[in-house]
Amino acid sequence: MKIAIVCYPTFGGSGVVATELGKALSRSKGHEVHFITYSHPVRLDELGAHLRFHEVDVPQYVLFRYQPYELALSSKLVEVVQKHQIDLLHVHYAIPHAYAAYMARKMLEDMGITLPIVTTLHGTDITLVGKNQLYKPAVTFSINHSDAVTAVSKSLKADTIKLFDIKQDIQVIPNFIDIQKHLASNIQCNRSLIEPDLNKKIITHISNFRPLKRVVDVLKVFQKIKEQLPSKLLMVGHGPERKKAYQYCKNRNLLNDVMFLGESSEIQKILCASDLFLLPSESESFGLAALEAMLHKVPVVSTNIGGLPEVNRHNYSGLTYPLGDIQAMAEGAIKILSNPQVHSKFQKQAFENAKRFDVNGVIRAYEKVYEKAVMKVRQST
């Protein structure tokens, strides 16, 4: 099949999932995959005859206060679909991708070309941005006019049905990791590069530092852990709350124990050296970073919000707590970290839990959705 994937090219979860999905579809199933987005996706580290990238260029006109990205995207979609005889379009994130996809489909219809559209909902396109009254009609319309819709967790599916007037079936297909690729990668884990004192516990947080990630809660939990156990915190990522988090540490003399690493392409090296992962978010449709931590045998202490309990099983892969319960999160983390037997049990269980999300099952599920969408469009023409 020739599949075009539209996504955000950044470090964010939806872009990572879309890129890894495209790579896996091409590598293990022989599909031809075309990524269409405004810059080279960060995780797209291989290109070839079956894996292509098309940049959406938005001409800048001083005449316009806002440059029309959707217009440029839908025009690019039409161009790529025609040129490469694309069979199906898979858009990740409803805003504005599903909307632009619909416009492209309409333009293509005029040229006698039919284009099935699959939309995958990721989270903030529904729970934060999408439910805004300003966008709601466009998001509802785009979801209802897709040929198939998937959501990355049961929780996100329920939120979508609650917040929008949905006349579509929504299939839950979780995010994924690639166990075989991970095992084959054989990472040389050098913990001492991060912390020479091997007695110190390494705690990690990875996010885009948006307010909903509650990075100050991460720091507060860490402070409590540090009172009981020698430890170091790695803050990985960049975003609006980074300055606030840095200032918090500076004011409390924490900068010797907290490292701000920025956005990193060396997540594997960071996670393989980590003892615990913290994710105290106030909203999370899935929590891909937590799953990636589990793949590296890192237990997760998180909130029990949104899709997180579907990913992080309480008392198995880690522990989950109500939003803002700093004391409980710290006590839970200390319980895991202070006893080597308990820690090792959680490490093994975290990895076992990650296996439930292996790429192979997920790829097959997406292929079935694609086949159904193609059939649906064929039958209606």
Tell me if 150 contacts ligand GMT by CB under 6 A: no
Per CB under 6 A, the list member of 9, 14, 37, 140 interacting with ligand GMT is 14
Tell me if 119 contacts ligand GMT by CB under 6 A: no
Q: Which helix (H) or strand (E) holds 374?
A: helix 359-380
Looking at beta carbons only, is 17 or 359 nearer to ligand GMT?
Answer: 17
Contacts with ligand GMT: how many residues (CB under 6 A)? Answer: 21
Looking at beta carbons only, is 93 or 321 nearer to ligand GMT?
Answer: 93
Of the candidate spans 116-124, 217-225, 259-267, 316-324, the one that interacts with ligand GMT by CB under 6 A turns out to be 116-124
Per CB under 6 A, the list member of 152, 177, 276, 301 interacting with ligand GMT is 152
Residue number of the CB atom closest to ligand GMT: 123
Neighbour tally for 379: CB within 10 Å? 7
Tell me if 124 contacts ligand GMT by CB under 6 A: yes
Per CB under 6 A, the list member of 140, 160, 208, 302 interacting with ligand GMT is 208
Classify the phi-psi angles of 151: left when phi > 0, otherwise alpha if psi is within -120 to 50, otherwise beta: beta
Residues of this chain, 36-55, that bind ligand GMT according to CB under 6 A: none
* x/- letters, 231..270, toward ligand GMT (CB under 6 A): ----------------------------------------
For residue 135, the minimal CB distance to ligand GMT (Å) is: 15
Which residues have a Cβ under 8 Å from the Cβ of 98 and sit 6 or more positions away? 91, 117, 119, 139, 142, 143, 146
Tell me if 26 contacts ligand GMT by CB under 6 A: no
Q: How far apart are CA 231 and CA 274, in angstroms?
A: 11
Within 13 Å of residue 27, how many CA atoms lie on the same side as its CB? 15
Of the candidate spans 12-20, 246-254, 344-352, 364-372, the one that interacts with ligand GMT by CB under 6 A turns out to be 12-20
**Contact at 8 Å (CB) between 351 and 295?**
yes
Nearest to 98 by CA among 138, 134, 129: 138
Looking at beta carbons only, is 16 or 77 nearer to ligand GMT?
Answer: 16
Q: State CA 376 to chain mean position distance.
A: 28
Torsion of CA 188, 270, 298, 230, to 10 degrees: 110
For residue 15, the minimal CB distance to ligand GMT (Å) is: 6
Tell me if 299 contacts ligand GMT by CB under 6 A: no
Tell me if 12 contacts ligand GMT by CB under 6 A: yes
Nearest to 31 by CA among 86, 104, 80: 86
Per CB under 6 A, the list member of 19, 119, 140, 175 interacting with ligand GMT is 175
For residue 122, the minimal CB distance to ligand GMT (Å) is: 4
3-class secondary structure, 206: strand
Which residues have a Cβ under 8 Å from the Cβ of 338 and sit 6 or more positions away? 228, 229
Of the candidate spans 11-19, 221-229, 355-363, 373-381, the one that interacts with ligand GMT by CB under 6 A turns out to be 11-19
Residues of this chain, 266-295, that bind ligand GMT according to CB under 6 A: 283-288
Nearest to 159 by CA among 175, 145, 148, 143: 143
For residue 19, the minimal CB distance to ligand GMT (Å) is: 11
Nearest to 215 by CA among 227, 229, 204, 202: 204
**Contact at 8 Å (CB) between 202 and 234?**
yes
User: Which residues of the shown chain bind ligand GMT in the complex (CB under 6 A)?
Assistant: 12-15, 17, 93, 122-124, 127, 152, 175, 207-208, 212, 283-288
